[in-house]
């Protein structure tokens, strides 16, 4: 991939007109605008950087990229509903379900959809992923073994997780704790206790990694793809999954989902970008470059990064949330979380 990156670096520099800055997209035949949750654009030679440059080289279409938290990108699309600015949306559950339910996404069946499990008429998995936690391995000799270990006073002011209801990964923490503790009451009671050690809200999960790496935090939340891709620049972080009261370490799939925005100003270009990112060629680099898991069934990774992800998850039980139920309960959950934590 390094040779490919070198070849397309100049094309990317010319093609990417906007990064995380909140600028207005262009309306032109040769432009496509994507609003995306953070994680796939981390570091030089990221998967997004590589694929956007390849897309521009292949099609002549310039990619405008705008990044925020999972809830933030959906909120922005919602605010712009009467005058859409984005063509493509990438975000995490349950925010993608919210976007679909609120009419922010339109039906689109991408090329190769028969090779992609999951999703719905309005969105499809782009990169498969799992929720996790991270810790500073230079400060802690081993990962905290259980959720209750995180209540130790030694972690006071050294733990932070992104805000449920705003960040997809933060919402995942809330859902995971409810699952691990066997129900809402026990889950929110634990989060109330954890607040003694919690630094406070964070709208973005990705920003927590550097704080853990520097030792300002000892533990934070994240997701497997993002955190493993960040390790090159943050050598002190390690991923882990604490055990619940029953001793089980568990997690659930938290895929990046991609959809075409309703009223997209450059809808045809949006369809082309979605097809390109879900193509077999692009998906074949998801694990080697992004350290995620490909969404396509006909892509079988054998690279070292894929093996590393598989090894990290040994002994971790995978469960599946009911995302429609999670979406319907989310306002109540967020209210209970606010009450429990005083946030």
**What CATH number has the domain bearing residue 265?**
3.40.190.10
What count of residues does the chain have? 343
Residues 206, 327, single domain; the answer is yes
| Domain-located, residue 244 | yes
Residue 27: the pLDDT is 52
To the nearest whole number, what is the mean pLDDT of the chain?
A: 91
Residues 123, 135, single domain; the answer is no
Residue 208: the pLDDT is 96
Q: Give the C-alpha separation, 192 to 289, whole Å.
A: 38
Instruction: Evaluate if residue 1 carries a pLDDT over 90.
Output: no
| Domain-located, residue 24 | no
| Domain-located, residue 92 | yes
Residues 133, 116, single domain; the answer is no
Tens of pLDDT along 228-275? 989 989 999 999 999 999 999 999 999 999 999 999 999 999 999 999
Q: Give the C-alpha separation, 5 to 9, whole Å.
A: 6
Tokens representing residue 114 in the block: 């028969």
Residues 230, 269, single domain; the answer is no
pTM, entire model = 0.78
Residues 231, 324, single domain; the answer is yes
Residues 203, 328, single domain; the answer is yes
Total number of domains in the chain: 2
Residues 203, 263, single domain; the answer is no
Residues 219, 160, single domain; the answer is yes
Residues 138, 68, single domain; the answer is no
Q: Give the C-alpha separation, 333 to 143, whole Å.
A: 28
| Domain-located, residue 9 | no
Q: Residues 145-154: what's their mean pLDDT? A: 98
Instruction: Evaluate if residue 21 carries a pLDDT over 70.
Output: no
Q: Give the C-alpha separation, 79 to 314, whole Å.
A: 42
Tens of pLDDT along 200-234? 999 889 899 999 999 999 999 999 988 998 998 99
Tens of pLDDT along 110-139? 999 999 998 899 999 999 999 999 999 999
Residue 25: the pLDDT is 47
Residue 28: the pLDDT is 57
Tens of pLDDT along 54-81? 999 999 999 999 999 888 999 999 999 9
Structural domain range at position 210? 129-251+312-339
């Amino acid at each position: 991939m390094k040779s490919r990156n070198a070849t397309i670096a100049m094309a990317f520099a010319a093609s990417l007109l906007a990064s995380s800055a909140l600028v207005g997209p262009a309306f032109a035949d040769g432009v496509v605008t994507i609003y995306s949750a953070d994680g796939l654009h981390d570091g030089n030679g990221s998967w997004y950087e590589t694929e956007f440059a390849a897309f521009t080289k292949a099609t002549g279409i310039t990619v405008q990229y705008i990044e925020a938290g999972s809830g933030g990108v959906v909120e922005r699309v919602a605010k712009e509903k009467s005058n859409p600015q984005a063509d493509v949306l990438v975000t995490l559950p349950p925010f993608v379900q919210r976007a679909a339910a609120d009419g922010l996404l339109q039906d689109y069946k991408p090329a190769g959809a028969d090779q992609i499990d999951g999703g719905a008429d309005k969105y499809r998995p782009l990169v498969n992923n799992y929720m996790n936690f991270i810790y500073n391995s230079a400060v802690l000799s081993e990962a905290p073994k259980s959720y209750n270990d995180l209540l130790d006073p030694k972690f006071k002011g050294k733990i932070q997780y992104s805000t449920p209801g705003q960040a997809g990964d933060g919402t995942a923490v809330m859902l995971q704790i409810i699952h691990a503790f066997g129900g809402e009451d026990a889950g929110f009671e634990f989060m109330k206790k954890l607040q003694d050690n919690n630094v406070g809200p964070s709208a973005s999960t990705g920003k927590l990694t550097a704080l853990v790496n520097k030792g300002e935090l000892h533990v934070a939340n994240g997701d497997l793809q993002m955190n493993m891709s960040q390790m090159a620049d943050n050598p002190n972080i390690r991923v882990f999954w604490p055990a619940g009261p029953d001793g089980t370490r568990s997690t659930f799939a938290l895929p990046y989902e991609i959809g075409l925005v309703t009223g997209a100003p450059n809808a045809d270009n949006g369809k082309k970008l979605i097809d390109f990112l879900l193509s077999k060629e692009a998906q074949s680099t998801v694990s080697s470059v992004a350290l995620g898991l490909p969404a396509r069934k006909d892509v079988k990774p054998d690279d070292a990064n894929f093996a590393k992800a598989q090894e990290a998850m040994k002994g971790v039980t995978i469960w599946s949330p009911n995302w429609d139920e999670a979406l319907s309960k989310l306002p109540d959950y967020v209210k209970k979380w606010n009450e429990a934590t005083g946030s």
